Amino acid sequence: MQNNIPERETFVIVGGVAGGASCAARLRRLNENAEIIMLERSPYISFASCGLSYYISGEIKEREKLLIQTPKKFIQRFGVDVRTRNEVLSIDRNAKAIEVRDVENQKTYRQPYDRLVLSPGAAPLRPPLPGIDGPRIFSLRSLEDADRIKSFLDKQEPRKAVVVGGGFIGLEMTECLHHRGIDVTLVEMAEQVMLSQDPEIAEFIHQHLQLHGIELLLGTSVEAFHECSDGRVSAQLSGGTSIDSDLVLLAIGVTPETELAKEAGLSLGDSGGIMVNESLQTNDPDIYAIGDAIETVDLMAGGRRLVPLAGPANKQGRICADHISGKPATFRGTLGTNIVRVFDLTIGGTGANEKTLKEKGIDYVKSYIHSASHVGYYPGATPLVIKILFSPESKKLLGAQIVGIEGVDKKIDVLATALHGGMKVHDLMELELSYAPQYGAAKDGVNMAGYVADNIARGDVEIFHADELETLLEEGGYLLDVRSAGEFKRGHIKGAVNIPIDELRERMHELPAGKLLLVYCLTGIRSYLACRILMQHGFHARNMSGGYTVYCASRPAECKGIPGLANWKRILALETFCSTPEERENTKDSC
């Protein structure tokens, strides 16, 4: 059977890396006859931008490992006309041509197109602060940026650094600089790092950073930079204080590169990204846009938002190529699934967070569980905190966040798949996930999250959260701590009465009849069991979801830390994780 050779057309792609390079390769696989031109203003068409900080830290030893495709290899393999160091200056939509400047030869030329794909990416935010262009102030977005930072670190051997911004890049670079023996201060304007996570999940990151000696300044902004007499840089902070350091790393976010699109009359959205339809076409059907510069549909919360992540950009590149080639292809939207490592702690999220749901006016229920990375009797298990958000009416999942040492990646990906599939909380109970002692449990943490949420949805137990406690106590609630006496002594919520769960049946007469009992333990497991006992004896009891651990993450100043966070690897602070009878006996107050 002979394939029909399509008419020769010219497809021009502006920008490489994840979206542009994926689009070019897919176009060639679908159309051997087309003229495909990829224009990239940098010398690199496809590099591992997510690995830059780990190259700087030395974890990735060879720079070449970051180069996913070189222009030479791309030309040989795909027959694409790759033009690096070529910057697109303008788009003439009527003539269907672009004006391009060849940076090396300092020449300008016009390039016609039949279809144009914009993949310009995003640029690091650099607000117009005094002194921001100083020689010791860096941003990290490109391979050239990484080269400059690494060269400075290798030659100058700095001892003190300030990282401004607590997002993905800021956290990664904080770890990177600390790994190189540099004393780091992390400055974040918001009251938490990682705004994609809810505050109580972010608190685990805060305390983990501090455990590793990072000075963390939250709710603090930088107002100016000044060069010191010894050549160092002084960051002037809000509140009148300042920090002197050998270098500053700006990681305060990115902004979509949309000037080219805007000047061509292409529509932009409310967040400043290029507006596209489900086929990734702009308001000009012959011009497509993909990657960090576009707005995409928020699959869980509705509306549109910017999602500067490599995964969606790669998918968009393929879908764009398919649609150009006449294949039915649409991009549904994004969940914003993300993950980051902070020293040996991992934090992952997918779907909507509480802040977004509140802003959108979407009703939700939240629940927490504490699970293990694998079964406790097999050595090396570490705890995980799993938070899920779901609709009280449809019971559909809306979002999830996980924090822990190991296993976060696996479980957040399962939950992202569940979200994409429109699953409900009871569907999580039925998922058949792989199990061997080294890898999981017969009742996986995702299953357990489903069980707990289903208990709430069915009314088997009522719950409350840390931010509701004060009101409930004012309304006459009675706070009951069912942990052991030793745990209670080490720390508890003010006003709580301690009756260990194993003594509950015998001491039930001590409880006030007719009052709402607000029950908690360390993680919510024993208190759930206590609530089931109490409810069947005629008491009105509610369980604190997530227990004292999540309470302390929600109100860290009151608890002076999250219980057991410093000992997570030793698994001494969370119930259900003690693996042997000897360990349970030696640490019975904790386990």
DSSP character string of 13-31: EE--HHHHHHHHHHHHHH-
Does residue 50 have an active-site annotation? yes
Let me know: does 163 contact 174? Beta carbons within 8 Å: yes
At the fourth CATH level, the homologous superfamily of domain 137-252 is FAD/NAD(P)-binding domain (3.50.50.60)
CATH 3.40.50.2300 fits 10-123+256-324, yes or no: no
At the fourth CATH level, the homologous superfamily of domain 344-458 is FAD/NAD(P)-binding domain (3.50.50.60)
Let me know: does 88 contact 14? Beta carbons within 8 Å: yes
> What is the predicted pLDDT for the residue at 584?
43
> What is the predicted pLDDT for the residue at 192?
97
> What is the predicted pLDDT for the residue at 4?
58
Sheet (strand 183-188) strand order: 137-139, 247-250, 160-164, 183-188, 215-218
Structure tokens at 94: 């009527």
Give the total residue count for the chain.
Answer: 591
Residue 354 phi/psi, 5-degree rounding, is -60, -40
Indicate the helix (H) or strand (E) that contains 203. helix 199-211
Residues of the chain with CATH 3.50.50.60: 10-123+256-324, 137-252, 344-458
pLDDT, one tens digit for every residue, the chain (591 residues): 455 555 689 999 999 888 999 999 999 999 999 999 999 999 988 888 889 999 999 999 999 999 888 888 888 999 999 999 999 999 999 999 999 999 999 999 999 999 999 999 999 999 999 999 999 999 999 999 999 999 999 999 999 999 999 999 999 999 999 999 999 999 999 999 999 999 999 999 999 999 999 999 999 999 999 999 899 999 999 989 999 999 999 999 999 999 999 999 999 999 899 999 999 999 999 999 999 999 999 999 999 999 988 899 999 999 999 999 999 999 999 999 999 999 999 999 999 999 999 999 999 999 999 999 998 888 888 999 999 999 999 999 999 999 999 999 999 999 999 999 999 999 999 999 999 999 999 999 999 999 999 999 999 999 999 999 999 999 999 999 999 999 999 999 999 999 999 999 999 999 999 999 999 999 999 999 999 999 999 999 999 999 999 999 999 989 888 887 877 765 433 444 443 444 344 444 443
CA distance 85 to 67: 16
CA dihedral sign of residues 31, 33, 35, 36: positive
CATH 3.40.250.10 fits 462-586, yes or no: yes
pTM equals 0.92
> What is the predicted pLDDT for the residue at 576?
43
- The residue annotated as part of the active site, out of 50, 228, 521, 559, is 50
Q: State the pairing for strand pair 35-40/81-84.
A: parallel
